[in-house]
């Protein structure tokens, strides 16, 4: 149970960090010329956080499966 709780906290931390990072990036782009300044903001956002979320969910699923066996 402690590792499951840790992984859930880690996942929620990733979501909070993700929201903050996107907010700062969006604010920077808005203040410095709009989307023409940062045309790949969405792509970089997706690439960065897809791996972190996938890994955490895989660990969470794997820990749940190992408890059932």
Asked if residue 61 belongs to a domain, the reply is no
Quick one: DSSP state of residue 54? H
Q: Domain residues for 7?
A: 2-56
Asked if residue 68 belongs to a domain, the reply is no
Q: How many domains, in total, are found in the chain?
A: 1
Asked if residue 24 belongs to a domain, the reply is yes
Q: Report the distance separating Cα 21 and Cα 45, nearest Å.
A: 8
Asked if residue 36 belongs to a domain, the reply is yes
Given a cut of 70, is residue 69 above it in pLDDT?
A: no
**What pLDDT digit, counting tens, does each position of 9-41 carry?**
888 888 888 889 888 888 888 888 877 777 777
Asked if residue 16 belongs to a domain, the reply is yes
Given a cut of 80, is residue 58 above it in pLDDT?
A: yes
Of 9, 29, 21, residue with least CA distance to 49: 21
- Cβ contacts of residue 7 below 8 Å, gap of 6+? 56, 59, 60, 63
pTM of the model: 0.64
């Amino acid at each position: 149970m402690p590792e499951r709780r840790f992984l859930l906290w880690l996942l929620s931390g990733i979501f909070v960090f993700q929201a903050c990072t996107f907010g700062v990036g969006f604010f920077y782009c808005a203040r410095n010329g709009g989307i023409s300044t940062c045309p790949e903001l969405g792509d970089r956002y997706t690439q960065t956080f897809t791996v972190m979320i996938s890994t955490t969910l895989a660990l969470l699923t794997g820990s749940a499966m190992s408890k059932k066996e």
